[in-house]
Amino acid sequence: MAKTLVKKRLEVLKTYKIYIGGQFPRTESGRYYIATNKKGENLANVCLGSRKDFRDAAVSARNAFGGWSGRAAFNRGQILYRIAEMLEGRKAQFIDELIKQDSTKAQAENEVNLCIDRLIYYSGWCDKFQQLFSSVNPVASSHFNFSVPEPTGVVAAIAPQNDSLLGLVSVIAPIIAGGNTGIILASASKPLCAVTFAEVLNSSDLPGGVVNILTGKVAELVPFFADHMDVNATVYCETDAATQKMIKEKASLNVKRVVLYDKVKWASSSGQSPYFIMDLQEIKTTWHPIENIGGTKAGY
Amino acid sequence: MATKKNNTIKLKFDSARNLAPAPESKSAAKIDPQYDLFINGKFEKPQSKKYFATINPATEEKLSMIAEANTADVNKAVTAARTAYDKTWKKMPPAERAKYIYRIARMIQERAREFAIIETLDGGKPIRESRDFDVPTAANHFFYYAGWADKLEYAFPNRRATPLGVAGQIIPWNFPLLMAAWKIAPALACGNTVVLKPAESTSLTALKLAEIIQEADLPPGVVNIITGAGATGAAIVNHADINKIAFTGSTEVGKIIQRAIAGTNKKATLELGGKAANIIFDDAPLDQAVEGVINGIFFNQGHVCCAGSRLYVQESVFKEVVRKLKDRLETLIVGDPMDKNTDIGAINSKAQLDIINKYIKIGQQEGAEMYQSSCAIPWKGFYCRPTIFTNVAQSNRIAQEEIFGPVLAIQSFRTDDEVIEKANNTPYGLSAGVWTDKGSKIFNLTTKLRAGVIWANTFNKFDPTSPFGGYKESGYGREGGLHGLSAYINLTTL
């Protein structure tokens, strides 16, 4: 009796929701679209995110910024490492989803492995890039003067549309390794593993709001990623010239930094480097006088 | 004579402004009656055939006539820069490039006095500042970046640095020669060629620099200096054969530039406006802090993008600090910029004086309490008394908007968190100042203030080795130091 029950057991389908402030709400718009594979088979109903979703995510990202940027760099490294651990543990699920989204098994395995390794790579950078890109400046006056990188703030990023998981991870990792918080728009055609990756983030001690992941139409949402007045930088990974221009124009409203990754090959070794972290850093220079009582000769 | 009051010494400064005049001589500087455009190593008449007058804002007397470059002139300058880039500059061994830049530095030093005089005559800043700050710092900037030219492979780990090409550079009127140095020196060191436009009210020292560049035998076209107003700047920004725009000026114009180059591959660095918070805690050495505040807001008549124009004073020392500030205000010598005793010179232009006066009126209308120095100011020329406002609300326009003049808005605070929030509550993020005797408090503040330059127990210090630039709407990119190189290079993998 039990055996037949199990055989006939109906599969529980997963609801793919968006990820804002450490929670998984449905889009406030109530809209959805159907993600399909190349054959046109339905994979899932996915949230068709709205402007209001973006604004909610921006509030969450801003609220999370102080805490995340204030964490010890070592702690951020530990959390990125934890994300990698969680991803390793759920590898099978991601491979399964990538295959559903038209990857071959070998491709899917390779992509997930690359993602895990990339997270480890950036985990290591969390407490090192500052040393590489800081300077003590030998000013001519009697001051101690140094420059250090600090996170730009809230970053809105449109993830690569084709490298659905690797692109997403490659964009998110340098944002958060550098202490920024972000709102990421997942690949519209391959959104499944983006939502599942949000579950990985949610179980990795990453504070809610540090990464917010939306799904939806790029054309509809891009303007908000570029013109929101409480976003400090916009990242765009596609080659569409008209969209690039529109992002740069709207970014001028509050002098956003615009970072275009239109020539990056994410699967290659050039798809990772500390320069991706530095693209979303500001340089802060601090001065303090040096007292010079007692003359300039050393006393010993 | 000193009298005791409120536990601090109040000095009598009745005689302070009666120092005998110590005027610098104009005769050490030569200003031609007319200046042409410096294109391809030669001074050329503008194709526009137009010239405009540049005046001494301290006397309103005409100093010279300056050529107005039109689009055809800009095209010519960009062509010269492109040709020089392709044929000469990018091919030159970096060590040779360096020697040209060193040569420029040395020649500025040699003619420092002349530069200082012209800077003061044309812009209105006190001769003491142009002599001791603007000109030597400009020369040092060339000297510093010259040395980078043949060392770029050490600057960017695991990357090769290559020049961008032709840089279009637009600079403001507050530090004319120094801003030219900040723009030209790193661009040349990194192997780029330059088309630079000074502000229309202060073209003279840039044109004098062009003379030096000519004398230094820099290959023709490597540096082109063209003069004009906004339309000339727009022609540079919109020119199709320019690879990089470097702009220092208002946030308003910076946004227009960012928008204008949106559809292009031009890179940009923008050094825009500011509304810096200067914060005094109750444990600060108050006399030093007051000096820092005075220097922070009245240096260069307050025409400084990183000026400490918002003062936050901890409540327990608020009254004392304000009184000390008022006392100090009375001692500032306002007047002839050519007098070596002068602290505050002339406002750069009539237009800027109108803006400052508008804000002084707005401050009073918003209910803030105004205090101005009682000093006399010359009846001719553009002058503004040093002004402080108390009883200011965070939402007041004088506490939110950049005035770019000698006007300080003072507020009080109680806790560290409160003042951090107030200081950061602005779209700007260029600079900030902190005054306290406690080291751990300094670092709490300096890490939490969202600004590119933080001065702790000092203010308005600059150095060629020290990166300068803003967060948020104060712009992006850095000028100065190792980080200033990034503005003029492409990075490629090895």
Each residue's pLDDT, cut to its tens digit, for chain A (300 residues) gives 455 556 788 988 888 999 999 999 999 999 999 999 999 999 999 999 999 999 999 999 999 999 999 999 999 999 999 999 999 999 999 999 999 999 999 999 999 999 999 999 999 999 999 999 999 999 999 999 999 999 999 999 999 999 899 999 999 999 999 999 999 999 999 999 999 999 999 999 999 999 999 999 999 999 999 999 999 999 999 999 999 999 999 999 999 999 999 999 999 999 999 999 999 999 999 999 998 765 556 555
Assess contact for B279 and B445: CB atoms under 8 A.
Answer: yes
Letter string b/e over residues B190-225, b meaning 16 or more CB atoms within 10 A of that residue's CB: bbbbbbbbbbbbbbbbbbbbbbbbeebebbbbbbbb
CB under 8 Å to B284, separation ≥6 — which residues?
B317, B435, B436, B437, B457
Interface of B with A in 431-460 (CB under 8 A): 442, 446-447, 450-458
- Chain B residues touching residue A253 (CB < 8 angstroms): 255
| Structure tokens that stand for A92 in this block | 């099978």
Alpha-carbon radius of gyration of chain B: 23
Query: Are the Cβ atoms of B258 and A248 closer than 8 angstroms?
Result: yes
> What CA–CA distance (Å, rounded) separates B302 from B295?
9
Strand partners, B22: none
Region of A176 on the Ramachandran plot (φ > 0 left; ψ -120 to 50 alpha; else beta): alpha
- Whether chain B has a CB inside 8 Å of the CB on A290: the answer is no
pLDDT at B452: 98
Q: By C-alpha distance, which of B276, B257, B261 is closest to B170?
A: B257
Find tokens 């490629």 and name the residue. Answer: B492
> What CA–CA distance (Å, rounded) separates A68 from A206?
9
- Chain B residues touching residue A138 (CB < 8 angstroms): 465
- Whether chain A has a CB inside 8 Å of the CB on B33: the answer is no
ipTM: 0.95
> What CA–CA distance (Å, rounded) separates A98 from A189?
12
From B451's Cα to the closest Cα of chain A, the distance in A is 7
pLDDT at B19: 82
| Structure tokens that stand for A69 in this block | 């940027």
> What CA–CA distance (Å, rounded) separates B457 from B438?
10
- Whether chain A has a CB inside 8 Å of the CB on B493: the answer is yes
pTM of the model: 0.95
Q: How far is CA A161 from CA A46, A47, A164, A235, B423, in A?
A: 15, 16, 6, 13, 40
> What CA–CA distance (Å, rounded) separates B390 from B319?
10
Is residue B306 part of the annotated active site? The answer reads no
Q: Which of B258, B466, B476 sits opposite A145 (nearest CB)?
A: B466
Query: Are the Cβ atoms of B465 and A137 closer than 8 angstroms?
Result: yes
Interface of A with B in 177-236 (CB under 8 A): 232
What is the C-alpha end-to-end distance of chain B, expressed in Å?
Answer: 69
What is the C-alpha end-to-end distance of chain A, expressed in Å?
Answer: 91
B26 burial via Cβ count (<10 Å: 0-12, 13-18, 19+): middle
Q: Which of B200, B271, B402, B479 is catalytic?
A: B271
- Whether chain A has a CB inside 8 Å of the CB on B461: the answer is yes
- Whether chain A has a CB inside 8 Å of the CB on B478: the answer is yes
- Whether chain B has a CB inside 8 Å of the CB on A31: the answer is no
Q: Which of B453, B463, B483 sits opposite A141 (nearest CB)?
A: B463
Query: Are the Cβ atoms of B476 and A257 closer than 8 angstroms?
Result: yes
Beta strand pairing status for A233-236 and A257-260?
A: parallel
> What CA–CA distance (Å, rounded) separates B43 from B214?
9
Assess contact for A274 and B158: CB atoms under 8 A.
Answer: no
- Whether chain A has a CB inside 8 Å of the CB on B463: the answer is yes
> What CA–CA distance (Å, rounded) separates B372 from B385?
6
Query: Are the Cβ atoms of A284 and B454 closer than 8 angstroms?
Result: yes
- Whether chain A has a CB inside 8 Å of the CB on B133: the answer is no
CA angle B40, B172, B77 (to 5 degrees): 15
pLDDT at A13: 87
Is residue B190 part of the annotated active site? The answer reads no
Ranges of chain B with pLDDT below 70: 1-17
pLDDT at B213: 98
Assess contact for B396 and B423: CB atoms under 8 A.
Answer: no
Q: Which of A143, A153, A286 sits opposite B454 (nearest CB)?
A: A286
- Chain A residues touching residue B442 (CB < 8 angstroms): 288
From B161's Cα to the closest Cα of chain A, the distance in A is 13
- Chain B residues touching residue A275 (CB < 8 angstroms): 159, 491
pLDDT at B17: 57
> What CA–CA distance (Å, rounded) separates B416 from B420?
6
Q: How far is CA A164 from CA A102, A226, B136, B208, in A?
A: 11, 21, 55, 57
Among A244, A253, A288, the residue to mutate for chain B (most B Cβ within 10 A): A288
Instruction: Kindly write down the DSSP assignment for every residue of B395-416, as one continuous string.
Output: TSHHHHS---SSEEEEEEESSH
Find tokens 């980080």 and name the residue. Answer: B483
Segments of B57-95 assigned E as strands: 61-67
Helix, strand or coil for residue A232? coil
